[in-house]
Amino acid sequence: AQSVTQLGSHVSVSEGALVLLRCNYSSSVPPYLFWYVQYPNQGLQLLLKYTSAATLVKGINGFEAEFKKSETSFHLTKPSAHMSDAAEYFCAVSDLTQGGSEKLVFGKGTKLTVNP
Amino acid sequence: DTEVTQTPKHLVMGMTNKKSLKCEQHMGHRAMYWYKQKAKKPPELMFVYSYEKLSINESVPSRFSPECPNSSLLNLHLHALQPEDSALYLCASSQTNGGTDTQYFGPGTRLTVL
């Protein structure tokens, strides 16, 4: 079974500072990886996804992530944090079940706080 | 339009009640999902429907009963729930149940079981 590990359950940055949220995957085959954001009392919104086309993936709201096979990582970055980026961020991997269906397996999440 | 709608937004029910959660999408997606999310935890998959057929049931207790009446609608019927079932229930849909398909999530139904 595939899994992802998010390092750091809480990350705090100042407005305008670099945002770096860490995600490592465990997979023996090239995985499909996703980053989702969840604002309070809302559903999840896709930020970006890696499907093996390009290792540097650009997403919405200025976020990007780089797939590094040698490090089994898919870290999420944004050059300059904005107050509106404060939210919970989930890394996820697509996992094939025994029945042949795909399902998303989420990391535990990282709560991003942006200080003025 | 990439919207998944869920009703109701909030639901309070007793342990002997029967209620239903509803999810709807009009994106032509053929895969639909139910997730359960407890506070400060990631979403946990409950059920997957692919082309209106149940394809994944993650060993969910029978007091949760999913139904997919057509390709746009997904229901979750609730009966004899326990207080520990209180959570945010999220619906999602995707083009198909493929590994690269983006899942679009609804805003969720906040369920409280008394």
Residues sharing a CB contact under 8 Å with residue A46, sequence separation 6 or more, in sequence order: A34, A35, A36, A59, A60, B102, B103, B104
The pLDDT of residue A33: 94
Average pLDDT, chain A: 93
Model pLDDT, residue B1: 63
Q: Measuring CA to CA, which residue among A40, A27, A50, A26 is closest to residue A89?
A: A40
pLDDT value of residue A82: 97
pLDDT classification of A110: cutoffs 50, 70, 90: very high
Question: What would the pLDDT profile of A18-75 be if each residue is shown by its tens digit?
Answer: 999 999 999 767 789 999 999 988 899 999 999 887 899 999 999 999 999 999 999 9
Place of tokens 């709608």: B5
Pair of tokens at residue B71: 């390709």
For residue A42, which residues of chain B lie inside 8 Å, CB to CB? 107-108
Rounded to a whole number of angstroms, the distance from the CA of A13 to the nearest CA of chain B is: 20
State percent of chain B over pLDDT 90.
83
Radius of gyration for the alpha carbons in chain A, expressed in angstroms and rounded: 14
According to the model, what pLDDT value does residue A99 have? Answer: 74
| C-alpha–C-alpha distance, residues A5 and A8, integer Å | 9
A101 neighbourhood in chain B, CB within 8 Å? 48, 50, 55-56, 97
Would you state the pLDDT for residue B20? 97
Strand B44-50 and strand B104-105: pairing? Answer: unpaired
Check residue A109 and give its pLDDT. Answer: 97
pLDDT of residue A44: 94
Report which of B14, B11, B32 is spatially closest to residue B101, judged by C-alpha positions.
B32
Q: What pLDDT, on the 0 to 100 scale, is given for residue A114?
A: 97
pLDDT tens, position by position, A72-108:
999 999 999 999 999 999 999 998 877 778 889 999 9
Mutate to test the interface with B, among A2, A47, A101 (most CBs of B within 10 A): A101
| Pick among B23, B57, B102 to test the A interface (most A CBs inside 10 A) | B102
List, for residues B35-74, the tens digit of each pLDDT value: 999 999 999 999 999 999 998 888 899 999 999 999 999 9
The pLDDT value recorded for residue B26 is: 93
